[in-house]
Amino acid sequence: MLIGAPGRTLALLTLGSLAACAATPAPPPAPAPRVASGLACLRDLNAHNISYQVPVLPVSAGGCQVDTPIRAYGMSIRWNQPATMSCQLGDVLMRFESEVVEPNAIKILGKPVVAERNLGAFTCRVEASSRRVLSQHALGRAIDLAGWSLADGTRIDIEKDWTDGGPHGRFLHAVASGACRYFSVVLTPSTNKLHHGHFHLDIGPDRLCSVG
């Protein structure tokens, strides 16, 4: 049966719509449920034998504040330097490190991770792309990670190894993809030049999994 001009137009539009739907990527899965903040969060860290301090943060201008702040030298993995953050971020990091970073190191690299390099968590500032919007770092809900060290002394650097075609690169991409199951926002060197050397992980209200 021949299709007239109006019919052909409708058919083409329908096929185009179906193709567009098929090409639309599926949204990233929602992050895993988080423990509540406050004492419930601190109790969860205590139950996992996590060592931390409860810092007294100065009153900051511009609305910077942290819900249930903690200061720690690591969660499941030792950090290169202490970081101050919300207890809720610390609890998510603990699970991410033990359930994503450590298993992927063994699976892909064949060696355990012994240290994680962070570039800081809480800092009172606005977003790099905005002069008005507070960064999730200003609320203690974000951390920047630069890489990991293995038991044999091998260093995995996000800046150097993100584009590596070998096991170092595969490990980083697996860790970044896994992070999307735990954090609301995951930014990587694939996102923009501002993140060429680190992963930005946060538990803020937005949702973005930018892993390339």
pLDDT at residue 211 tops 70 = yes
- Rounded distance, CA 156 to CA 136, Å? 26
pLDDT at residue 21 tops 80 = no
Q: Is residue 3 a part of any domain in this protein?
A: no
Q: Is residue 74 a part of any domain in this protein?
A: yes
Q: Say what the alpha-carbon torsion angle 21, 24, 25, 27 is, to the nearest 10 degrees.
A: -80
- State how beta strands 142-150 and 69-74 pair: unpaired
Average model confidence (pLDDT) for the chain? Answer: 86
pLDDT at residue 17 tops 90 = no
**Number of domains making up the chain:** 1
Q: Is residue 142 a part of any domain in this protein?
A: yes
Q: Is residue 139 a part of any domain in this protein?
A: yes
Q: The domain containing residue 66 runs over which residues?
A: 35-210
pLDDT in tens, 35-58: 888 999 999 999 999 999 999 876
pLDDT at residue 6 tops 60 = no
- Rounded distance, CA 22 to CA 176, Å? 25
pLDDT in tens, 137-150: 999 999 999 999 99
* Amino acid residing at 5: A
For 146-187, the DSSP string reads: EEEEETTS-EEEHHHHTT-SSHHHHHHHHHHHHHTTT-SEEE
C-beta atoms surrounding 154 within 10 Å:
12
Q: Is residue 9 a part of any domain in this protein?
A: no
Q: Is residue 120 a part of any domain in this protein?
A: yes
For 111-141, the DSSP string reads: S-EEEEEEEES----B-TT-SSSBPGGGGT-
- Over residues 153-161, the mean pLDDT reads 97
Taking alpha carbons only, the member of 104, 136, 102 closest to residue 120 is: 136
Sequence-ordered list of residues with C-beta below 8 angstroms from that of 66, at least 6 positions apart, any chain: 57, 84, 85, 86, 122, 139, 140
pLDDT at residue 10 tops 80 = no
Determine the pLDDT at residue 110. 97
Phi/psi at 27 (5° precision): -65, 150
Confidence of residue 14 (pLDDT cuts 50, 70, 90): very low
Determine the pLDDT at residue 62. 67
Asked whether the CA dihedral 138, 143, 145, 150 is positive or negative, the reply is positive
Q: What is the CATH number of the domain that holds 60?
A: 3.30.1380
What is the percentage of the chain residues whose pLDDT exceeds 90?
A: 71
**Local structure of 144: helix, strand or coil:** strand
Higher pLDDT among residues 113 and 212, named by residue: 113
Q: Is residue 22 a part of any domain in this protein?
A: no
- Crossing angle for the helix pair 87-96 and 39-47, to the nearest 10 degrees: 30
- Over residues 123-148, the mean pLDDT reads 89
Taking alpha carbons only, the member of 154, 160, 141, 56 closest to residue 109 is: 154
Determine the pLDDT at residue 26. 52
Q: Is residue 48 a part of any domain in this protein?
A: yes
Higher pLDDT among residues 21 and 26, named by residue: 26
Q: What's the gap between Cα 123 and its chain centre?
A: 17
- Over residues 5-22, the mean pLDDT reads 42
Confidence of residue 1 (pLDDT cuts 50, 70, 90): very low
- Over residues 163-191, the mean pLDDT reads 97
Confidence of residue 212 (pLDDT cuts 50, 70, 90): confident
What is the value of pTM for the model shown?
Answer: 0.83
